[in-house]
């Protein structure tokens, strides 16, 4: 899509990218994979979430890994596909749509996941060095605190800053919005962290 194209001419492409990204993002891999494995509906166990962390509570590490990859790749696919078709502006819009689709999937009455894997997948498709920074920060925080949610929150908060430092200003603006949405999706986790009740990686909540 040429830079000179007027907004009125670009609007159909942007709307198509938003809708296409949303539909890709709304694919509930956690629900699909657990049902295919004969484990029922993942929303009836643990936190009721459709993401990889809750799928792991089935005891099937392979399914959890597949859910993680699927949720990430739907974000990557959205930005790469629509960026290839119509340019970088539509890639950003498609990424936003994919994130909304994961958080609010139409197939699940708009009750979706918390978005971390899809966030990383969108980041990977738009600017992979920042995805590596996210992963490094997540690993470091997880090693220090053993809180998956806190690690994701810290890494996502740092992502827009890292993108600004790389002079990727439009992408930084997108991820500032996605980070706010990710924090909102993790509001229950934030409450448990503040109360010292959040479950640690591989164990129970922190000692009071």
pLDDT tens, position by position, 58-67: 889 999 999 9
Global confidence as pTM: 0.92
Element of type H or E holding 171: helix 169-185
- Which one, of 46, 44, 42, 26, lies nearest residue 34 by Cα? 42
- Give the pLDDT of residue 56: 87
Residue 121 near residue 73, CB atoms below 8 Å: yes
Distance CA 172, CA 54 (A): 29
Cβ-proximal residues to 203 (8 Å cutoff; 6+ apart), any chain: 146
pLDDT in tens, the chain (208 residues): 444 456 667 899 999 999 999 999 999 999 999 999 998 889 988 778 899 888 988 889 999 999 999 999 999 999 999 999 999 999 999 999 999 999 999 999 999 999 999 999 999 999 999 999 999 999 999 999 999 999 999 999 999 999 999 999 999 999 999 999 999 999 999 999 999 999 888 765 443 2
Token digits for 118? 């899809």
Distance of CA 58 to the CA centre of its chain: 21
Distance CA 142, CA 150 (A): 8
In the block, tokens 């909304």 appear at 100
Cβ-proximal residues to 65 (8 Å cutoff; 6+ apart), any chain: 52
Q: Which residue ranges make up each domain of the chain?
A: 1-113, 127-208
- Which one, of 117, 125, 124, 121, lies nearest residue 83 by Cα? 125
Residue 121 near residue 162, CB atoms below 8 Å: no
């Amino acid at each position: 899509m040429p830079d000179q194209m007027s907004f009125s001419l670009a609007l159909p492409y942007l709307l198509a990218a938003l809708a296409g990204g949303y539909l890709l993002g709304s694919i509930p891999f956690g629900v699909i994979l657990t049902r295919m494995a004969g484990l029922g509906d993942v929303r009836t166990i643990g936190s009721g979430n459709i993401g990889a962390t809750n799928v792991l509570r089935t005891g099937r590490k392979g399914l959890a890994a597949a859910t993680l990859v699927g949720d990430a790749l739907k974000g990557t696919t959205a930005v790469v596909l629509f960026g290839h078709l119509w340019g970088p502006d539509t890639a950003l819009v498609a990424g936003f749509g994919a994130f909304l689709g994961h958080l609010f999937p139409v197939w699940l009455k708009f009750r979706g996941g918390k978005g971390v894997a899809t966030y990383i997948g969108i980041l990977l498709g738009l600017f992979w060095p920042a995805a590596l920074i996210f992963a490094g920060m997540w690993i470091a925080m997880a090693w220090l605190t053993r809180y998956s949610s806190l690690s994701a929150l810290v890494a996502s908060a740092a992502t827009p800053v890292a993108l600004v430092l790389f002079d990727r200003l439009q992408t930084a603006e997108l991820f500032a919005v996605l980070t706010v949405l990710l924090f909102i999706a993790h509001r229950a986790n934030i409450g448990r962290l503040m109360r010292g009740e959040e479950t640690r990686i591989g164990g129970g909540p922190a000692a009071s």
